[in-house]
Amino acid sequence: MSAVTATKDRGWIIALIPLGTLVLFFVAPMAYMAAVSVFKNDPAAFFKPAFVLDNYAKFFAPFYYSISLRSFVQAGLGAGIVTLLGFFTVLFVSDQSRWLQRFWVILLLSLLCLSEVVIAFALLILFSQSSGIPKLLAWLTLWDNPRSLYPSFGAMMAGYVMLGFSIATLMLFPQVSRRDRAIEEAAQGLGTAPALLFLRVTLPMFRTALLAAFITLFVYFLGVFVMPTMLGGPQNWNMTVIIQDRAVERFNMPLGAALAMIMLALTAVLAALLLWLNRQQRAEDA
Amino acid sequence: MRGLILKDVAKSFGTVPVLQNINLSIQTGAFVCLLGASGCGKTTLLRTIAGFEDLAAGDIRLDGQSLNGVPPYQRNIGMVFQSLALFPHLNVIDNIAYGLSIRGMGRAQRSARAQELIALVDLTGMERRRVSALSGGQKQRVAIARALAIEPSLFLMDEPFSALDAGLRERLQKQIKQLQRRLGVTTVFVTHDQQEAMTLADQIVVMRGGTIEQVGSPSDIYHRPQSRYVAEFVGQNNILDITVKDGTAYWQQQPIGPAKAWPAQTTLALRPEHLRQTTNPSDGVSGRVSFVRQLGSVIETQVEVGALTLIQTQLANTAPLPDVGEPVGLAFDLTHAWELPA
């Protein structure tokens, strides 16, 4: 038997490692959650195996679908803001010297070390009436009646930005930094004024990369728990907080599982829709 | 005056001067090649004309209008970049029509103009193809068509064929020359390839260290170089420091032929094709073959004469290929020798 054939024969053993990881950490929990979502709730024992669709039906109550809609809007808005901010930052950084680029990348990587709780707590202090921005503005006599800036939608969005900023920039950096600067010069030579250059050339050139960053952040922000809880307040709670509340606080695992399954399906549909739209656009271009 | 005029153009990067005292006049419709080694400033000069680099001093005029301070997007100059810089998010026809759409031309009109150019560069049937799906030569032609679509007052090309294989490069050189003749657009073409410059140019500008070394027709540059650098850079040349005595030229203390009206001591440039191998030592100088190579229809022989090396070429099949180490005589045809300015 040749060495090549022997390696091919043993290939399936190597494939077992990722397959096993996938089954253990993704397929099994998902399958179990899917199963629990059709079980009956039993306050005494969490749930009883059954096949009921009541948990799914509850989603169509105004409370749940309005919160899920809010979750999508919040995640979409957050992802949009962070993607654009990240894009502008990367455009700026990629035009700096090698040394400065390295400095920025290290800084952004170090931001990734900060957990959601740490970021939320830092912002909580910054926005608090007693020690943060309001106090500073009052001291500068710019704000007569200072009050805490959280909980609020703005505080929560600030949290989203801080949380996702390094992810967006690090996702976009490789493509943007390797871009051919001559493309922008060519556009200028063909008559594009600097004001139009960004919209006509730079932005469309990175459409797919921006969409990938947006979808990644969108999915990530849908699952954010600490930001809405600590900085957003009840009026800004998203579906993740509600699922946690139903499953853990109110001991209704089947309802929590059903809501999570619906969110998963909706997210997948939205992401697929965005990718399909991008593909359609590319096909139109071609 | 119509055409491109550069007057005392200078440019520095920080404290390093990259262009100095550039004076050049290019007539409308001419095809000019900027020729020079890497780092001589030819691309910087091209970018300065296009407006992508600021001038430190001097004046650039196009058809009588000063371009100083005019931003690139208002110059109406079409440029083909070394990397081609095609828009990756647009297909072939949209790349070509881009400049027209920026100028506010209607969809039907710009589509017709783009189709015209597509036919001109022989890309018919590829209008909807993504640029990433094109071959190197097709990309080149899209870049050329895109730059020409705006009917530029000046057409600039920055080593556009440097990444192509020899066969394709030759085909595109012919096409671009024919296209330029047909459209009559003033063209400045940057290259480090002297053969390319010879093929394409009406006028060659040889650059060295940020300055212009010589401007002239390909024939002038080849046969009448104005400096030792040009003589050695453009094609191969034998540079001979000679002495003249009693109407005879001496090189390495050996008579090499009748002198023209040269001073007692001077430097000559003699092309390799004007040396002839001989078996009679009294015809010229004798040396030893140090290197031989066959270049298709021509054989190049390098002959060591003392500490110096001469290059001689002859048509293949006119004489047997000499062996390395073989003693050989070289006769000089000084009627073709060109005296280099001191």
Mean of pLDDT values over B57-76: 94
Q: Do A183 and B87 touch (CB under 8 A)?
A: yes
Nearest residue on chain A to B126, alpha-carbon basis: A286
On average, the pLDDT of chain B sits at 92
With beta carbons under 8 A apart, name residues in chain A contacting B146: 186, 190
With beta carbons under 8 A apart, name residues in chain B contacting A190: 73, 78, 98-99, 102, 146-147, 150
Q: Is A182 within 8 Å of chain B by CB?
A: yes
Mean of pLDDT values over A44-67: 88
Place of tokens 């990067």: B13
Q: Is residue A177 part of a domain?
A: yes
Rounded distance between C-alpha atoms, residue A32 and residue A185, angstroms: 55
Residue B339, classed as helix, strand or coil, is: strand
User: How deeply is A220 buried, as exposed, middle or buried, from its count of CB atoms within 10 A (0-12, 13-18, 19+)?
Assistant: middle
Q: Is residue A124 part of a domain?
A: yes
DSSP structural state of residue B340? P
Mean of pLDDT values over B253-271: 92
Q: Do A182 and B83 touch (CB under 8 A)?
A: yes
With beta carbons under 8 A apart, name residues in chain A contacting B129: 286
Q: Is A175 within 8 Å of chain B by CB?
A: no
Q: Is B87 within 8 Å of chain A by CB?
A: yes
Which strands make up the sheet holding B327-332, listed edge to edge?
B275-278, B327-332, B285-295, B298-305, B308-315
Is the backbone of residue A212 left (phi > 0), alpha (psi -120 to 50) or beta? alpha
Q: How far is B129 from chain A (nearest CA, A)?
A: 6
Rounded distance between C-alpha atoms, residue B23 and residue B27, angstroms: 14
Q: Is A185 within 8 Å of chain B by CB?
A: yes
On average, the pLDDT of chain A sits at 90
Beta pairing class for B187-191 and B154-158: parallel
Rounded distance between C-alpha atoms, residue B189 and residue B156, angstroms: 6
Confidence (pLDDT) at B278: 86
Q: Considering only CA atoms, which of B16, B65, B24 is closest in space to residue B45?
A: B24
Rounded distance between C-alpha atoms, residue B331 and residue B258, angstroms: 12
Confidence (pLDDT) at B162: 84
Provide the CATH number for the domain around residue A244. Answer: 1.10.3720.10
Residue A25, classed as helix, strand or coil, is: helix
Are the beta carbons of A239 and A68 closer than 8 angstroms? yes
Q: Which of A180, A190, A201 sits opposite B83 (nearest CB)?
A: A180
Using only C-alpha atoms, chain A has a radius of gyration, in whole angstroms, of: 24
Q: How many percent of chain A have pLDDT more than 70?
A: 96
Q: How many percent of chain B have pLDDT more than 70?
A: 99
Convert the pLDDT of each residue in A56-84 to its tens digit.
999 989 999 899 999 999 999 999 999 99
Q: Which of A185, A204, A286 sits opposite B52 (nearest CB)?
A: A185
Q: Is residue A234 part of a domain?
A: yes
Convert the pLDDT of each residue in A217-253 to its tens digit.
999 999 999 999 999 999 999 999 999 999 888 888 9
Q: Is residue A34 part of a domain?
A: no
The answer to which of A193-202, A274-283, B205-214 has the lowest mean pLDDT is A274-283
- Beta bridge partners, B156, equal B79, B188
Beta pairing class for B65-66 and B265-270: unpaired
Interface pTM, i.e. ipTM: 0.86
Name the amino acid, one letter, at B310.
L
Nearest residue on chain B to A203, alpha-carbon basis: B89
Give start and end residues of each alpha helix (H) in chain B: 42-50, 92-102, 107-120, 136-149, 166-183, 194-200, 218-223, 228-233
Q: Do B98 and A285 touch (CB under 8 A)?
A: no
**Best of A190, A203, A281 to disrupt the B interface by mutation (most B CBs within 10 Å)?**
A190
Rounded distance between C-alpha atoms, residue A173 and residue A93, angstroms: 9
Q: Which of residues 104-163 of B touch A (CB under 8 A)?
A: 128-130, 146-147, 150
Which strands make up the sheet holding B248-251, listed edge to edge?
B254-258, B248-251, B238-245, B265-270, B338-339
DSSP structural state of residue B122? T
Question: Rounded to two decimals, what is the model's pTM?
Answer: 0.81
Backbone angles phi, psi at B28, to 5 degrees: -55, 135
Rounded distance between C-alpha atoms, residue B157 and residue B186, angstroms: 11
DSSP B51-104: TSS--SEEEEEETTEE-TT--GGGS-EEEE-TT----TTSBHHHHHHHHHHHTT
DSSP B269-299: EE-GGGEEEES-GGGSEEEEEEEEEEETTEE
Nearest residue on chain A to B98, alpha-carbon basis: A190
More confident residue, A7 or A103: A103
More confident residue, A284 or B323: B323
Q: Is residue A16 part of a domain?
A: no
Rounded distance between C-alpha atoms, residue A247 and residue A253, angstroms: 4
Q: Which pair of structure tokens corresponds to residue A1?
A: 């038997």
Q: Is residue A18 part of a domain?
A: no
Q: Is residue A37 part of a domain?
A: no
Q: How far is A168 from chain B (nearest CA, A)?
A: 21
Q: Which residues contact B324 (CB under 8 A, 6 or more apart)?
A: B289, B290, B291, B292
With beta carbons under 8 A apart, name residues in chain B contacting A191: 73-74, 76, 99, 102-103, 150
- What pLDDT band is residue B237 in, cutting at 50, 70 and 90? very high
> What's the longest Cα–Cα distance across chain B?
78
Q: Which pair of structure tokens corresponds to residue A132?
A: 């943060």
Confidence (pLDDT) at A13: 84
Q: Is A279 within 8 Å of chain B by CB?
A: no
Rounded distance between C-alpha atoms, residue B129 and residue B197, angstroms: 32
The size of chain B, in residues, is: 342
Convert the pLDDT of each residue in B120-157 to its tens digit.
888 999 999 999 999 988 999 999 999 999 999 999 99
Domain limits for position A58: 53-285
Q: Is residue A142 part of a domain?
A: yes
With beta carbons under 8 A apart, name residues in chain B contacting A205: 87-89
- Beta bridge partners, A132, equal none
Q: Do B73 and A201 touch (CB under 8 A)?
A: no
Q: Considering only CA atoms, which of B244, B322, B231 is closest in space to residue B276?
A: B322
Q: Which of A185, A190, A196 sits opposite B99 (nearest CB)?
A: A190
Q: How many domains does chain A have?
A: 1
Convert the pLDDT of each residue in A115-134 to its tens digit.
999 999 999 999 998 888 99
Q: Do B83 and A204 touch (CB under 8 A)?
A: no
Backbone angles phi, psi at A133, to 5 degrees: -55, -45
